[in-house]
Structure 1
């Protein structure tokens, strides 16, 4: 048998933690001296200790740990819990990284304030266009919610259109519709000349935009804030109001997002 100090060193935990586990009945010593109160442990108890620490580190409370261990969770089940927890942590990390990139992009937008070039904006009519389309809902119009939705949508619509042998006749288009609950319907579209038959995607005609304020954005869409800022200044200075969320036309979309070229199109009407 091992003293509490020895057992703590062998189990890679603190003596204080073992005392706490004893106090709450999660891991009792194999023997407690009735006179001195010294705790002693057996090597076989390392198995339960390892499970306690593993399950606790997955984010469960000690009460939940007790319930899980009382159900005699197997090693295979522990591996399954680890895989699930890893997926949750990776998703959280990706979300936090996306939020950080969004904040950094917002700061870069702030740095460009006062240096807006409104001459880049072109007012024009956008013709109607027939598209193959897939749609999905995003929690909001913020970049960290839109990106994880629009990117897989475009990959999927490209795959389905190719499998259907439907000819694509122009660059991809994304457009968005706001919902009353604050969420946004995200639409990923590919212009097509025709698409006879039944498909696992929608074919519809996007209506014309009679008056659109348009601007070319160069680079990743994470950096689009400063381009929208330029567009907003132009719309206000020229006496217009925006009527909907922007359409995004992917004019050039290589693997490197920093080399993307995207046209933003916002429907506008005269103010007042």
Structure 2
């Protein structure tokens, strides 16, 4: 048998918690010395302790834990409950991590307000280009809605291009269109030279030329793109232009190596009112 201290070490819990579990009747010791009051536990009781702690981590109250333990759920059922909770926790961690990245990006945008030199913005015509693309709808233009939609599209697109024997001829180009409400139609494209065909598992379309576009090269991951977009917006307003629609994002060098070295050209069609 094990003393309460040794049992606490083996079960990775505190002595205080073991005393609490004893007081609530969830895990009484196997024996209590009548003269000293010392508690002693057996190795077999670790099974109940493991289930108790796991069920608490599932979010059950101690009363609910008691009911489940007394019902002696099969290992398979308990494993299923824990696996579900694990998936929920991983999802929550991913959501919190994404939220943290957005907060950090907003902070960087605030810190860098007005720091982009005007000579980094180039006004130029953009020629028409043919792209193969896949599309999906995002709930909004917010990065937290766009990212999860566009990111899976590119691996799917390249896999389908490979099956069709089509080789990209240049950069990836993402474009966006308004959809009902706040929704945005997201197009993940890459330049190609082939003719459209109904046999492909993707569209082949021609993006029209832009007579005049304010362009700038964004450096780094797209998590920080708001800083660049806002700098271009300020430039457009200051120079008396009007922006037409969403920007095109041309991935000059993206997704490999150090994210600090990634390059994306933003192309915003502009006109004089």
Please state which band the TM-score falls in when normalised by the shorter chain: 0.7 to 0.9
8 Å contact 1:166–1:195 — kept in the other structure?
no
8 Å contact 2:114–2:231 — kept in the other structure?
no
Give 3-state SS (helix, strand or coil) of 1:224's partner: helix
List aligned pairs for 1:29-108, cutoff 5 A: 43=42, 46-62=46-62, 65-66=65-66, 68-69=68-69, 72-108=72-108
Deviations 1:60-107 (A, max 9, x none): 444554565466433233334333333332332233223223322322
CA distance in 2, matches of 1:48, 1:185: 52
Partner of 2:176: 176
TM-score normalised per structure 2: 0.77
Of the structure 1 ranges 87-96 and 12-21, higher mean CA displacement relative to structure 2 is found in 12-21
TM-score normalised per structure 1: 0.78
CA distance in 1, matches of 2:231, 2:121: 8
CA distance in 2, matches of 1:85, 1:46: 21
Unaligned 5+ segments in structure 1 are 33-37
CA distance in 1, matches of 2:9, 2:217: 63
Deviations 1:201-226 (A, max 9, x none): 23333333343222111222122222
8 Å contact 1:177–1:185 — kept in the other structure?
yes
Give 3-state SS (helix, strand or coil) of 2:109's partner: helix
**1:46 deviation in Å?**
4.5
Q: In 2 relative to 1, CA 21–138 (structure 1 residues): closer, same or farther, beyond 3 Å? A: farther
Unaligned 5+ segments in structure 2 are none
Partner of 1:258: 260
Give 3-state SS (helix, strand or coil) of 1:136's partner: strand
Q: In 2 relative to 1, CA 204–59 (structure 1 residues): closer, same or farther, beyond 3 Å? A: farther
Q: In 2 relative to 1, CA 191–78 (structure 1 residues): closer, same or farther, beyond 3 Å? A: same
Q: In 2 relative to 1, CA 196–139 (structure 1 residues): closer, same or farther, beyond 3 Å? A: closer
Q: In 2 relative to 1, CA 153–67 (structure 1 residues): closer, same or farther, beyond 3 Å? A: farther
Of the structure 1 ranges 257-266 and 175-184, higher mean CA displacement relative to structure 2 is found in 175-184
List aligned pairs for 1:240-251, cutoff 5 A: 240-251=241-252
Give 3-state SS (helix, strand or coil) of 2:204's partner: strand
Q: In 2 relative to 1, CA 104–12 (structure 1 residues): closer, same or farther, beyond 3 Å? A: closer
8 Å contact 1:134–1:157 — kept in the other structure?
yes
Give 3-state SS (helix, strand or coil) of 2:212's partner: strand
Q: In 2 relative to 1, CA 2–122 (structure 1 residues): closer, same or farther, beyond 3 Å? A: closer
CA distance in 1, matches of 2:242, 2:234: 11
List aligned pairs for 1:54-203, cutoff 5 A: 54-62=54-62, 65-66=65-66, 68-69=68-69, 72-193=72-193, 194-203=195-204
**1:6 deviation in Å?**
9.1
8 Å contact 2:129–2:191 — kept in the other structure?
yes
Of the structure 1 ranges 55-64 and 152-161, higher mean CA displacement relative to structure 2 is found in 55-64
Q: In 2 relative to 1, CA 73–185 (structure 1 residues): closer, same or farther, beyond 3 Å? A: farther
